[in-house]
Amino acid sequence: MHFRNLKKTAGELHFGDPIDTDKDGNALTLIDVVADDINIADEIDKKVKLQRLRVLLETRLDDREKEIIRLRYGLGGERELTQRQIAGLLGISRSYVSRIETSVLKKLKRML
């Protein structure tokens, strides 16, 4: 069974695996070769967290919370609105928009 697992992963290459050596004999990894000024690991982490945030927004918030966050932060191609503008659109007070926004951000932070 162990050999079967090794065979399945034999073609995989990880960012930290040495793939060559430089002129001084130091090991070069894939991340050294393909990376530029941005850190690939950070970019991947950011994309994973954004995907998780999208799922949480869709599955864990009620319709009013989703609408306020979508309008407030310009999600889905919308432009960002102020709390006052959102309150006018939804026919509620600005302080109520603020309370909902604050509670949603706390909720999302706990879930992430």
Residue from 3, 9, 34, 7 nearest 19 by CA: 34
Q: How far apart are CA 32 and CA 25, in angstroms?
A: 14
Q: How many CA atoms lie within 13 A of 30 on its CB side?
A: 8
Q: Which residue has the higher pLDDT, 75 or 40?
A: 75
Q: How far apart are CA 62 and CA 72, in angstroms?
A: 15
Mean pLDDT within 22-45: 73
Residue 83 has pLDDT above 80, yes or no: yes
Residue 13 has pLDDT above 70, yes or no: no
Q: Domain spanning 62-112: which CATH class is it, in words?
A: mainly alpha
